[in-house]
Structure 1
Amino acid sequence: MTAKELFLSKLSDWGTTPLKVLQKEILPILANLRLAIVLLLVIAIFSVSGTVIEQGESLEFYQANYPENPALFGFLTWKIIALVGLDHVYRTWWFLTLLLLFGSSLIACTFTRQLPNLKSARRWNYYQSPKQFKNLALSAEIETGSLETLKTLLQKRRYRIFEEDHKLYARKGLMGRIGPIIVHASMILILIGSLVGSLTGFIAQEIVPSGETFQVKRIIDAGPFAASQVPQDWSVRVNRFWIDYTPDGTIDQFYSDLSVLDNQGSEVDRQTIHVNKPLKHNGVTFYQADWGIAGIKIRMNRSPVLQLPMAQLDTGGNGRIWGTWIPTKPDLSAGVSLLARDLQGTLLLYDNEGQLVSTLRPGMSTEVNGVTLFIDEVVGSTGLQIKADPGIPIVYLGFGLLMVSVLMSYVSHSQIWVLEADNRLYLGGKTNRAKVVFEREVIAILDEIQPTSDNETSSKTAPV
């Protein structure tokens, strides 16, 4: 061998070695059923943790709710959550790696097992001798009847027939072999959709008073490529926020009248949203999630309407209360504190000594510190949760295919071989599921061929 031939041989070996390693070592490991089950269980466990543990909250939130002493379950503290990334499970590198490994396992299984099984199922062959029928779980030797009669009976039962000389092969239910492949494909689609959503989606929260316009700014969780999904050329105006109450005073439903505005401020869409009825625009969804009190509109004597901001007070977990201070003198030397629990309830006025001065509702007035105080309106603010997830259509497509393919997988793939030799018919068959039903079908076929000659039929039936 010349030096040139040796070099080309080494070069060829170097090029084919990685392919051989992939085929003989890596693919069998990835296609291992135990590995797929373990990966699926691990993914399920961390998915549950992402549902139980609040996602995308501030560090202070986890420090308050997951203290070191006592630790939840004896080990779960805010330090563990921050270290492992349990506060944003679905965007961590290790969770995405698990999804990629599971997807690779499904792909490897599809190409090494499912596709070869389908190829084998589509290939037909004939039995050449009676001895071959002894290897089948269900077989029979028939002394009467003809191949044409049997062919007609099989066609009535929707078998596809392949015939050659005195040999016949029939099959039906090939869809049952295609079903598992589509199951794998649909699961891969779901994984792809999850990865797309994790990498390009975002979650934001906004508290917006009635009458104000806003753009999405307060992003609490986002993928590394989510910038293109955040709205830049349009904004949203909260036309009005209101709450419907039940007769006993509890909240029945809260609503937000929203308008989508383009760069010129023109309205391109308008919808009233409430819980379970969001607004969707350009792939971004606005959910009604919370509410608050932004401010109060008042008048003193004959003054113009003044709007004062209200802030939520710390009640130590004993309900939600908003408050503000209203000056009653121009030099701010005197005033009253106003407290509110909701948008329609009684407002409470307290003086500087903390004594209750008056109670009133929107639309009412009272005398305080020598001035007449009018309460025009309590201004509510809507709490919106904003999400964008480009992977959702892919996930929905995957789930749709999964439901269809699971039904397809329940279809039995049945095969029947027939050989006509020595004035006899040799018949045998097998199926991959519903074996009792298949056995009854074969027996029914035999009965139609020779209804009165059961004693002339020698059959062998193994447990099915």
Structure 2
Amino acid sequence: MTVDNTTSKDLNLFSIPVRFLRREILPVLTDLRLAIILLLIIALFSVSGTVIEQGQIPAFYQSNYPEHPALFGFLTWKVIQVVGLDHVYRTWWFLALLVLFGTSLTACTFTRQLPALKAAQKWQYYDEPRKFNKLALSAELDGISLTSLTPLLAKTRYKIFQDPEKNDILYARKGIVGRIGPIIVHIGIVMILLGGIWGAMTGFMAQEMIASGDTFQVRNIIESGAWSSQDVLKDWSVRVNRFWIDYTPKGGIDQFYSDLSVLDNDGKEIDHEKIYVNQPLRYHGVVFYQTDWGISGVRVKLNNSPIFQLPMALLDTKGKGRLWGTWVPTKPDLSAGVSLLAKDLQGMVLIYDAQGKLINTVRAGMSIPVNGVNLKILDVVGSTGLQIKYDPGIPIVYIGFTLLMLGVVMSYFSHSQIWALQKGNIFYIGGKTNRAQVTFEREVLGILEQLTDTGKK
């Protein structure tokens, strides 16, 4: 008989990395300190992604995070863009942290939690009195029958095991679900991580500023994952039926609204929703959030002319509030005109001449003579700022959170065990639990008191 040395060498070469993984890598992955460190790092960068505005243009970061002086002495726009703090949740290093943390939890589940569950499911009868000395709580009683213990344990929801061939030994337990709880917690956390990774890799985010009355398709994608696809946006569009703002009595913004309709390729309405802050429109997994507003234009009329809608542009006010403006020609050859300024949708418009002098202030519906013509302001047209998100990982995250909460609740159940043995007239009883030791002691003492009272009778 001959041995294939080549095959033997191949098996030895294969076993080397397996042994290395088991002896070197696996202990590190299952180390609780590593999991805590990773969790703290993930939490830190998650906070940074909340504090630092995400997905803005470079000019925004250059303006708000200058090099001199640097925020906290080091945080500048260059650091933000180089490290990726402007899109934290989609950076390769943040996703790598999630993968490493999920791997650590998975390894811990298989090497610690599952073996602990299997060990909890394995039990044996205590058929020797000396075994009761090892228990944290034990007692010896005279004149007590084992049969009197069974109904007391059943009353306190213990699952009872008795050897049909031996009537002098008993084992009972409850709360095995408490051993399953940590495993469910780990599964829930891993699913949350998987949902976050899947959403980051396949989702996208867009921003649109749409005038009231316009119809649009989502085009302005500002962030997207490596595996993202915009196929979900095909064959439908959205119409902004109306955009309006409710103001407080003091003139501040109370709430702004967008009345939206989802249209098919034939222009037929297939969905409709009035959205506002914290009340989005959802369609085919795409979510439309109300996040901003602006002024898109002003509708005017000169004498008996047709109605013109002139676009209004956002002016640079050096951080002193938002102001929109446009220019209205008052002569056919465009040799003269006036400037119109508006700061909100309450209908008030400021009119300036060519020298920058304020001519008058009018409201929508009013008219005023300017440069020999009658200028009538019909309406100030608002535009809605929408943030559009598509995240296929959200259902996975929701399932993960549900499992996490369920696992936390299950983990509160104590795994309690009780053994009993009867040797002649001496009755041995003892037990242990993995948590809530005081409660368990009170429960066992209550059972012992009832057994004693039964024995006296």
Interval of TM-score (by shorter of Structure 1 and Structure 2)? over 0.9
Q: Cα offset for 1:230?
A: 5.3
Matched with 1:46 is 45
C-alpha contact (below 8 Å) 1:297/1:308 kept by paired residues: yes
Q: State the Cα deviation string for residues 56-100 of structure 1 (Å, max 9, x = none).
A: 111111111111110100111111111111111111111111000
Matched with 2:20 is 21
The residue type paired with residue 65 of structure 1 is: N
- Structure 1 residues 248 and 345: CA distance shift in structure 2, 3 A: farther
Paired with 1:69 and 1:11, the residues of 2 have a C-alpha distance of 61
SS in 2 for 1:225: coil
Matched with 2:106 is 107
Verify: 1:440 aligned to 2:442, yes or no.
Answer: yes
Matched with 1:183 is 185
Structure 1: stretches of 5+ with no match in the other structure:
455-464
C-alpha contact (below 8 Å) 2:347/2:379 kept by paired residues: no
How does the TM-score come out when normalised to structure 2?
A: 0.96
Structure 2: stretches of 5+ with no match in the other structure:
none
SS in 1 for 2:341: strand
Paired with 1:146 and 1:5, the residues of 2 have a C-alpha distance of 67
C-alpha contact (below 8 Å) 2:232/2:284 kept by paired residues: no
Of 405, 408, 430, which residue of structure 2 is paired with 1:406? 408
Paired with 1:147 and 1:453, the residues of 2 have a C-alpha distance of 11
Q: Cα offset for 1:131?
A: 1.1
Paired with 1:411 and 1:430, the residues of 2 have a C-alpha distance of 14
Verify: 1:6 aligned to 2:8, yes or no.
Answer: no
Of 391, 394, 418, which residue of structure 1 is paired with 2:393? 391
Verify: 1:323 aligned to 2:322, yes or no.
Answer: no
Paired with 1:64 and 1:120, the residues of 2 have a C-alpha distance of 60
Matched with 2:92 is 93
Matched with 1:272 is 274
Paired with 1:158 and 1:398, the residues of 2 have a C-alpha distance of 30
Q: Cα offset for 1:30?
A: 0.9
C-alpha contact (below 8 Å) 2:56/2:86 kept by paired residues: yes
Paired with 1:419 and 1:14, the residues of 2 have a C-alpha distance of 54
Q: Cα offset for 1:452?
A: 9.1
SS in 2 for 1:450: helix
Q: Cα offset for 1:209?
A: 0.6
Q: State the Cα deviation string for residues 434-462 of structure 1 (Å, max 9, x = none).
A: 101111111111111113989xxxxxxxx
SS in 1 for 2:37: helix
SS in 1 for 2:293: strand
Of 199, 203, 211, which residue of structure 1 is paired with 2:201? 199
Aligned residue pairs, count: 453
Matched with 1:116 is 115
Matched with 2:132 is 133
Paired with 2:205 and 2:62, the residues of 1 have a C-alpha distance of 22
Paired with 1:319 and 1:287, the residues of 2 have a C-alpha distance of 23
The residue type paired with residue 39 of structure 2 is: L
Structure 1 segments of 4+ aligned residues over 6 angstroms from their partners: none
Q: Cα offset for 1:28?
A: 2.0
User: 1:40-439 to 2 correspondence within 5 Å?
Assistant: 40-164=39-163, 165=166, 166-228=168-230, 231-439=233-441
- Structure 1 residues 229 and 39: CA distance shift in structure 2, 3 A: farther
The residue type paired with residue 80 of structure 1 is: V
The residue type paired with residue 48 of structure 2 is: S
Q: State the Cα deviation string for residues 139-168 of structure 1 (Å, max 9, x = none).
A: 111122111111221111111111121221
Paired with 1:278 and 1:308, the residues of 2 have a C-alpha distance of 30
Which deviates further from its counterpart, 273-282 or 24-33? 24-33
Q: Percent identity?
A: 64
C-alpha contact (below 8 Å) 2:347/2:380 kept by paired residues: no
The residue type paired with residue 331 of structure 2 is: K
Paired with 2:257 and 2:216, the residues of 1 have a C-alpha distance of 17
The residue type paired with residue 294 of structure 2 is: G
Q: State the Cα deviation string for residues 405-443 of structure 1 (Å, max 9, x = none).
A: 111100000001112224311111100111011111111
